[in-house]
């Protein structure tokens, strides 16, 4: 849904049709993968030793986007005074809901028995971080839908219920932070996996979500801001570019510090996962995709072409594309090597599902494509029938 005119576009029927077509195509392409999971009970290339793979990585990535964007929007609007983002609120809410629904779908496919989800609500075990994750995600979704409902009702409703909307916004922030902390803690408390087992992991997840959120918010402003064609639009984009560049640098420094803490003692149980990330069979995902396209290219664009809106948009898009590798490179290396206490297990038993080697199968990619189709469909329809009418009232 790209805008090409120099003035604000409040009737984007052409963009709507293109986005809707892409979403439907994604759903049709991915439907075969969903069929294989729900009907044939297949789980792709996952093994007994690597039970979490692409789907969990996609889930974490989408959660980082949804939560990080809402928290970033709150900070930029309330504390940094970026007034050019004021009318972008319904777009941000809709994008967060879209990412959240895609995340819930892909993690449901990973569970093996998605139709038993009701047990998490009627028979919860609050001693499990996974139960907390499910409940927090549900409450977070309810809050976001309640906020978006106000924009659906129109400008008068938003003005009349502003105090309640502010309340919902304020409570969504701690819920989002808790959700990120719980997901980080879900990995961090696994003592049997030293690569994950660190108290700093929830904090690293929070930093990652904020950086990704700023990047997505920058891109949403460039594509959907109703201030397009005004001096405020360009000024806000340049302001966001400076903030985004600083966020990327902070994220790189935090990741480097965490990596050095693992590498310096060189404890095998901890360092083996890091070696797999940096020099394993998929080294190119971290060095070329994430660091190359996702960090170096955006930093160069934001340094030398910071006044060019097209360069800012490309930088944000490249960062988000490269960032998709981060959760995958946290999750899979934490599982894809035998622990010292398990030496010889590969020779003791032989079976295709008893392997530490993992490459996502085509079926797993199809499920992710289906989840992306869900997110894009929700955003496309929501923008057309909720956001556009609201923005027209403000024009």
Closest C-alpha among 73, 71, 135 to residue 104:
135
Contact 386, 95 (CB under 8 A): no
Q: What is the pTM assigned to this prediction?
A: 0.90
Mean pLDDT lowest for which of 5-9, 85-89, 375-379?
5-9
- Highest-confidence segment of 9-23, 143-157, 359-373: 359-373
Residue 111 confidence (pLDDT): 83
Residue 1 confidence (pLDDT): 41
250-273 in b/e form (b: 16+ CB < 10 A) is ebeebbeebeeebeeeeeeebbbb
pLDDT tens for 59-68 read 999 999 999 9
Residue 9 confidence (pLDDT): 54
* Domains identified in the chain and CATH numbers: 22-389 (1.20.1630.10)
Rounded Cα distance between 395 and 392, Å, is 5
DSSP states of 60-95: HHHHHHHHHHHHHHHHHHHTS--GGGGGGHHHHHHH
Closest C-alpha among 326, 301, 302, 293 to residue 212:
326
- 197 — alpha (psi -120 to 50), left (phi > 0) or beta? beta
Mean pLDDT of 263-288: 80
Residue 273 confidence (pLDDT): 76
Tokens of residue 143, six digits:
């809050």
Residue 251 confidence (pLDDT): 92
Rounded Cα distance between 239 and 301, Å, is 15
Contact 102, 374 (CB under 8 A): yes
pLDDT tier, 73 (very low <50, low <70, confident <90, very high otherwise) = very high
pLDDT of 120 > 90? The answer is no
Residue 276 confidence (pLDDT): 80
Mean pLDDT of 381-389: 91
pLDDT tens for 164-205 read 888 888 888 888 899 998 888 888 777 667 777 666 788 888
pLDDT tier, 259 (very low <50, low <70, confident <90, very high otherwise) = confident
pLDDT tens for 341-365 read 566 666 677 777 777 788 899 999 9
Rounded Cα distance between 104 and 134, Å, is 9
């Amino acid at each position: 849904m790209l805008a090409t005119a120099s003035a604000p576009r409040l009737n984007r029927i052409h963009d709507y049709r293109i986005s809707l077509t892409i979403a439907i195509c994604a759903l049709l392409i991915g439907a075969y993968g969903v069929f294989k999971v729900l009907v044939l009970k297949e789980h792709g290339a996952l093994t007994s030793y690597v039970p979490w793979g692409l789907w969990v990585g996609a889930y974490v990535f989408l959660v980082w986007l949804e939560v990080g964007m809402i928290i970033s929007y709150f900070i930029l609007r309330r504390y940094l005074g970026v007034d050019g983002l004021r009318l972008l609120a319904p777009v941000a809410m809709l994008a967060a809901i879209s990412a959240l629904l895609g995340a819930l779908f892909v993690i449901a496919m990973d569970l093996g028995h998605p139709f038993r989800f009701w047990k998490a609500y009627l028979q919860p075990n609050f001693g499990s971080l996974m139960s907390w994750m499910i409940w927090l995600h549900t409450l977070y979704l309810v809050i976001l839908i309640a906020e978006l409902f106000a924009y659906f009702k129109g400008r008068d409703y938003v003005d009349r219920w502003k105090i309640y909307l502010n309340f919902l916004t304020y409570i969504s922030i701690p819920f989002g932070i808790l959700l990120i902390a719980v997901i980080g803690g879900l990995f961090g408390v696994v003592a049997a996996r030293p690569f994950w087992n660190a108290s700093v992991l929830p904090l690293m997840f929070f930093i990652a979500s904020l950086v990704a959120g700023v990047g997505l918010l920058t891109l949403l402003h460039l594509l959907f801001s109703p201030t397009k064609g005004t001096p405020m639009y360009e000024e806000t984009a340049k302001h966001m570019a400076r903030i985004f560049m600083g966020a990327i640098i902070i994220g790189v420094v935090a990741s480097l510090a965490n990596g050095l803490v693992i590498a310096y003692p060189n404890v095998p149980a901890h360092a083996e996962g890091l070696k797999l990330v940096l020099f394993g069979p998929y080294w190119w995902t971290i060095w070329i995709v994430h660091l190359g396209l996702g960090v170096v290219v955006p930093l160069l664009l934001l340094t030398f072409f910071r006044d060019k809106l097209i360069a800012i948009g490309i930088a944000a898009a490249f960062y988000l594309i490269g960032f998709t590798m981060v959760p995958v490179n946290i999750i899979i290396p934490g599982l894809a090597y035998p622990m010292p206490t398990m030496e010889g297990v590969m020779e003791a038993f032989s079976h295709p599902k008893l392997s530490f080697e993992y490459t996502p199968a085509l079926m797993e990619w199809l499920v992710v494509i289906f989840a992306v189709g869900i997110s894009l469909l929700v955003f496309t329809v929501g923008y057309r029938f909720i956001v556009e009418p609201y923005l027209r009232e403000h024009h």
